[in-house]
Amino acid sequence: MFNGFISIDKPPEITAHDCVSRLRKLLKQKKIGHGGTLDPMATGVLPIAVGNATRLLRFLPEGKAYDAKIRFGIVTNTDDITGAVLNDRPCPELTLAMVEQVLPLFQGKITQRPPAFSAIQVNGKRLYDLARRGEVTEADIPTRAVEVKEIRVLDWTAGDYAELDVAIACGSGTYIRAIARDLGEKLGCGATLSYLRRTYSNGFSLESSLTFEQVGDRLQASSLDVLAPDHGLHLLPALSLNVELTKRWCMGQAIAFTDFAEDLASNNLSGGESSPTYVRVYDYEQNFLGVSEAHETSIQPVVVLTPVN
């Protein structure tokens, strides 16, 4: 049985749920979950937890990055190129300078209206189900605050349907399709997303990602190594416990800061109100044990992965 993370380089035309189903068949184990959805059209990084690492998904760091292509002059009902065309208006007069003038409006903390065809729930129903039945309007879709840390221009192709290639770094919950749609609206010519590849997600990058073909080949060769359960938790401070404290912690006992006062400085923990919320916990041999929640005077086990006999 595998325990850890596999960062999948998702192929186009399938959902994140499809990826989980495919991995369950390949690995022959059921306990698998993904760390965030990705549109069927999109490709790229999809973190997947396997075995007991599924309990760690909620501790993965925020943040995503994409390479995207935006096509101007086309408006679709899904805000990407897979949807039905609502408006087709060539815009040969559009220039990169005109686009770059308004791009800063889409950086920083912005308010965004998610696409009608999205998995967001409104009154207990998925928006894409309502949209398919024609039961949703723009007024029905609640806007929300998101953060776009950077939009960097990669390339520009002029023409009747000009295309802009960009690299986008953003927080969770940001829809790149909505950025494309709103950018087109701001420029008065309309736009849709024609390509999307996620290059980073929640602590995982393309460099550490595998295609399904690579997973299958390595399984056949008995050489598949999953990423360690603590791979995506590098932003959490770490704490090492001695033998006795390890036994107590793995039994579910809270450990007072005074019990390991000598180690606080080296572990970047200080106790009190400034303590971090969550902490990676290791034994004295640096074996990963799980995650604790730091309170004012102690750490309380939240996820214990390695029981001590």
- What positions carry a catalytic annotation? 39
What would the DSSP string read from start to end of 142-158?
Answer: --EEEEEEEEEEEEEE-
Confirm if 16 and 37 have CB atoms less than 8 A apart. Answer: yes
Q: CA 3, CA 27: separation in Å to the nearest integer?
A: 11
Radius of gyration of the chain (CA): 23
Please state, in angstroms and rounded to a whole number, the distance separating the CA atoms of residues 65 and 168: 6
Give the pair of three-digit tokens for residue 46.
């999809």
Distance CA 238, CA 106 (A): 36
Backbone angles phi and psi of 278, in degrees to 5: -125, 150
Give the dihedral sign, CA 148/184/126/40.
Answer: negative
**Cβ-contact 189, 70 below 8 angstroms:** no
Per the structure block, which two tokens stand in for 244? 């006795």
Give buried/exposed letters for 266-300 (b at 16+ CB in 10 A, else e).
ebebebeeebbebbbbbbeeeebbbbbbbbeebbe
